Amino acid sequence: MRKISIGLVLFLVALLVSLGAAPTPASSSSTAIIAEIINQVDEQQFRTHICYWQSQEGGEECNSLGSRWSCSPTAIDRALGYGQRYFESLGLKTQSDAYNLPCRSGPSSNLTAEWPGTESSKLVLITAHVDSVIFGMGASQAAPGADDNASGSAAVLEAARILSKYRFKHTIHFVLFTGEEQGLIGSRAYASRMAGQGAQILGVFNMDMIGYDSDRDGAFEIHAGTREGPIALARLMVNTLKTFEIKLTPDVLESGATNRSDHGSFWRHNYPAVLVIEDTEYGATNDFNPHYHSVNDTLSHLDLSYAKRIAQAVIGAAAQLAEPVP
């Protein structure tokens, strides 16, 4: 586990730019497109989506508290239905992949929206689990899960809204997993199916809890593990922060990385995947959400500007990996 401080790097980049040296983008036209994409990420969209998912009703007030427990068909199917309606309103084709979750009778499903590439079926994945849980869960209990993980799910919808306005060489999948809280069951089924089909995945950006920053230091973590592929994805994100001046401090975790979110399901098949998460006890500092898995994990405790900046880093990096077509 290493702390990567970007302060000095930013200073040197600024110095080089002021001296007239080029900041080494891939090409100026694609850099302009990525900047345009990043600038469209909208905090208000996070409020709308998280509000719906925490209450399962929506509206400005977010007063009532719902649940997205994967074992309850009513709760989780409603949460997925919101995502499906949203993706389809953007003109994206959606697919529900069925899998078996032991605590639920009948099939469970993840939800995928696809944005086909102009040249290739190689995949870039932007993912989050939409299900929630609280400690000691019963079927009728509220599990608002605003941070865990309506925040990451909202970022997936926001990625779809913005990226579907552009064309990319490679295909992008926007995925909402379920069954994460029961042991990554939904994403395991998804990743196994992909591997079985011989799918080529260029990178998986999995967001899980991106809305809590009580000390407002902008610290967040990228869990890459020790393999080359995911480390390259982390590097792409760190470079995106620098190039587009997104005010966050990344902590890239290699040997200290956790596999306890849906990116872990892709690691099992050697697919390059990273976990993007707020400041947890795994990293150099710890500002973990104390309302985790409780009825108090609500929108009122979140910093949506922080969630927005993390989403900017992910969407900007994913867009570069998918290669915009000017």
Query: Is 117 in contact with 123 (CB distance < 8 Å)?
Result: no
Nearer to Zn ion, 149 or 171 (CB): 149
Tell me the window of 52-60, 78-86, 131-139, 203-211 that interacts with Zn ion (CB under 5 A). Answer: 203-211
Tell me the window of 79-87, 113-121, 204-212, 278-286 that interacts with Zn ion (CB under 5 A). Answer: 204-212
Number of residues located near Zn ion, criterion CB under 5 A: 3
Query: Is 148 a binder of Zn ion (CB under 5 A)?
Result: yes
Query: Is 131 a binder of Zn ion (CB under 5 A)?
Result: no
CA distance 317 to 25: 13
Q: In 3D, which of 74, 70, 258 has the Cα closest to residue 177?
A: 70
Nearer to Zn ion, 208 or 221 (CB): 208
How far is Cα of residue 193 from the mean position of the Cα atoms in its chain?
21
CB of 134 to Zn ion, least distance (A): 12
Tell me the window of 46-54, 200-208, 212-220, 267-275 that interacts with Zn ion (CB under 5 A). Answer: 200-208
CB of 207 to Zn ion, least distance (A): 9
Query: Is 151 a binder of Zn ion (CB under 5 A)?
Result: no
CB of 289 to Zn ion, least distance (A): 10
Nearer to Zn ion, 114 or 148 (CB): 148
Neighbours of 120 (CB within 10 A): 15
Helix 304-322 to helix 152-163 angle, to the nearest 10 degrees? 50
Cβ-proximal residues to 158 (8 Å cutoff; 6+ apart), any chain:
41, 42, 45, 46, 49, 311, 315
Query: Is 208 a binder of Zn ion (CB under 5 A)?
Result: yes
Q: How far lies 302's CA from each of 45, 47, 53, 200, 209, in Å?
A: 14, 10, 14, 36, 10
Query: Is 149 a binder of Zn ion (CB under 5 A)?
Result: yes
Nearer to Zn ion, 68 or 161 (CB): 68
Q: In 3D, which of 324, 322, 289 has the Cα closest to residue 125?
A: 322
Tell me the window of 73-81, 141-149, 228-236, 276-284 that interacts with Zn ion (CB under 5 A). Answer: 141-149
Nearer to Zn ion, 117 or 264 (CB): 264
Q: In 3D, which of 165, 152, 161 has the Cα closest to residue 204?
A: 152
Query: Is 127 a binder of Zn ion (CB under 5 A)?
Result: no
Binding site for Zn ion (CB under 5 A): 148-149, 208
